[in-house]
Chains A and B, each alone.
Chain A
């Protein structure tokens, strides 16, 4: 009795293992040789024939379909304000499912697993959209269904991830800036280089992101964020190690609080954090680093096999409405990419959220660099962190 059970368990296990291995082949690769699964993935862009998508559809059928259908939004928590979601539901009768990821890479892995299905609207960062588009996971926007598309400020268009403006709607653009407390800092801060000043010992907050911090070091050497030259990256790494004594905190979240509480005297902040920091303490100084600005855009797109594509278009049109766009920018504290929204923004927001768009042409995106350069960045970062504590 026991033996037979064991045997059948072993068989089941073997079968499942085979299934999982062949399945994992399909869960992500783009090499030159193109495994058959990859080819299938690409051929599948429109016809949703893969078992996963079918499963997902069955799942959908089981759950109650409401009058206007559903819309599955996938992005960071609270990035689309609850008030905006509520209003969209009210106006269209579409029920919104709002789910979240923490890192862009988690989103892409998930999207790939569902073969560009399951989700209707994804809001994520520029570089990952580029990868998703290259993997064939992004759907072209039908502009007939999005009359408000023309509200997009052209300053925020024609970027590397969507050069023809066919797939994305900019949602949260931003320029990271240096902010410092002039009452606590004795040296003059003009750019990234100033952070190396010995007087700033143990009093600088940086972003916990290797490409951003390495990018600062690269810029001080007059290099691009995205250089793939391993020797240049190594040299920037050496320079970065000298910054270690000055770094008090590395953080992604609420970094402005460190500056406001006096834990640090200078910080490199995202746009939203700059706005919040200034709101709390107007005495703080903002620096546009002289070596060159960084720039990033979070944009919305529709996955290739979105189950509710029409609703997704309706949502894009909705957030591109002037009033709604103003509401979004006011809640998220990012730059406003919506021309029609400017008139709805209160004056203090106009100042902080619109003006700096002049600097955008000077900004450089952080883009994907090849496998070797990425691995080197990771290695330097690990070494840097070991030096910090």
Chain B
């Protein structure tokens, strides 16, 4: 943040540095501090405490400290669930980025009036119940469904396909559900980009692609990062997509926790699984931040 000699410096250095007088700005963070401490930190402390307690024979929790819940997670069955969830989350995140980045980028280049319009068009589908949208997909993709009939009518296939209730179906459902997060993240950081820098790079002889890779991508990196975080995190825990599009056959950490709380009635183990998921997700995001070398984004997780 202290480099001053390069062209990009203008965009990178910001008025939000230490140099700027703090003045009374601390007042603006009070609501966030208050809310976070009261309604997030305290409940999560309770969650952590819960993860060290023992389940009762039939119902509830016994106030007896144990490490048993964490010891159980190491069993291959449960580690395997973490592994599968992780793979799916990575795949979802990468695909969402590949599909969503161009959309968000193009969106930011639209004329001003159409931008807001497009933003709404992207979000409105997600204001209807996700369950209903999943049923919509099922009606399209199921055996003898709309797609099957269309393909058979066109003569592409002869008999009904079995497209649903599989790993790929879950992946598609995840991408579909999380795409708007990526699109809007990329859009909101591309939107205020200084396009003169791209032109400057072009004037200095960079090809369009070079200019894109060196300038545009760098400058939209905060958006990419927040998009990745907003997609990766939920994709570890979204269980109802696995239940509906995966036909209950794909078990993710989210499903596992759900099961332990409901039919298993083992709250401490569910809490321990959640704590592990929390730690694991945090490490992934921290690692990502380190590897991508985004030093300017300190604090953006």
Contact = CB atoms under 8 A, between A and B. Distances in A.
Interface of A: 2, 9, 12-13, 16-17, 20-21, 24-25, 27-31, 35, 103-106, 108, 112, 131, 134-135, 202, 208-211, 247-251, 261-263, 368, 370-371, 374-375, 377-379, 381-383, 385-386, 388-389
Interface string B239-262: 000010011111100011001111
Given A28-B60, A374-B265, 18 more contacts: A16-B42, A17-B46, A24-B49, A25-B63, A28-B267, A30-B60, A31-B62, A31-B64, A135-B60, A208-B248, A371-B56, A377-B264, A378-B266, A381-B259, A382-B78, A382-B81, A385-B249, A388-B249
Given A378-B264, A378-B266, A28 B45 contact: no
A15 B26 CA distance: 24
B45 A17 contact: yes
Given A30-B58, A108-B59, A375-B264, A382 B41 contact: no
B59 A135 contact: yes
B80 interface: yes
Given A16-B42, A248-B247, A251-B247, A379 B77 contact: yes
Contacts of A30: 56-60
B66 to A, nearest CB: 13
B56 A248 contact: no
Contacts of B42: 13, 16-17, 20
Contact of B166 (A262, A385, A389): A389
B65 interface: no
Contacts of B45: 17, 20
Nearest to A130: B58
Nearest to A31: B62
A379 B145 CA distance: 35
Interface string B42-75: 1101100110000111111111100000000001
Contact of A35 (B59, B63, B80): B63
Interface residues of B, number: 57
A202 B81 contact: no
Interface stretch (B4-12, B108-116, B157-165, B188-196): B157-165
16 contacts: A9-B33, A12-B38, A13-B37, A21-B49, A24-B46, A28-B59, A31-B62, A35-B63, A105-B262, A105-B265, A131-B58, A209-B263, A210-B259, A248-B162, A251-B248, A389-B166
B169 to A, nearest CB: 10
B143 interface: yes
Contacts of B38: 12-13, 16
A368 B56 CA distance: 13
A388 B259 CA distance: 17
Contacts of A35: 63
A386 B80 contact: yes
Contact of A261 (B58, B144, B165, B266): B144
A389 B144 contact: no
A134 B267 CA distance: 19
B46 A21 contact: yes
A17 B63 CA distance: 16
A33 to B, nearest CB: 8
Which interface residue of B38, B57, B80, B263 has the most chain A CB atoms within 10 A?
Answer: B263
B247 A103 contact: no
Contacts of B243: 208, 251
Contacts of B251: 382, 385-386, 389
Nearest to B60: A28
Nearest to B84: A386
A167 B187 CA distance: 59
B34 interface: yes
Given A248-B247, A249-B248, A382-B81, A371 B55 contact: yes
B260 A378 contact: yes
Contacts of B63: 25, 29, 35
Contacts of A263: 142-143, 162, 164-165
Nearest to A248: B165
Given A21-B46, A209-B263, A379 B80 contact: no
Given A262-B160, A375-B266, A24 B50 contact: yes
A208 B256 CA distance: 13
Contacts of A108: 59
A214 to B, nearest CB: 11
A202 B162 contact: yes
Given A13-B38, A382-B256, A261 B145 contact: yes
B248 A103 contact: no
Contacts of B103: none
Contacts of A378: 259-260, 263-264, 266
A105 B261 contact: yes
B242 to A, nearest CB: 9
A104 to B, nearest CB: 8
Nearest to A381: B259
Contacts of B34: 9
B24 to A, nearest CB: 11
Nearest to A212: B263
Contacts of A134: 58-59
Contacts of A389: 166-167, 246, 249-251
Contacts of B41: 13
A9 B38 CA distance: 9
A108 B261 CA distance: 12
Nearest to A5: B30
B129 to A, nearest CB: 13
Nearest to A260: B144
Contact of A29 (B46, B61, B75, B264): B61
A13 to B, nearest CB: 5
A8 B56 CA distance: 37
Contacts of B43: 20
Nearest to A263: B143
Contacts of A261: 142-145
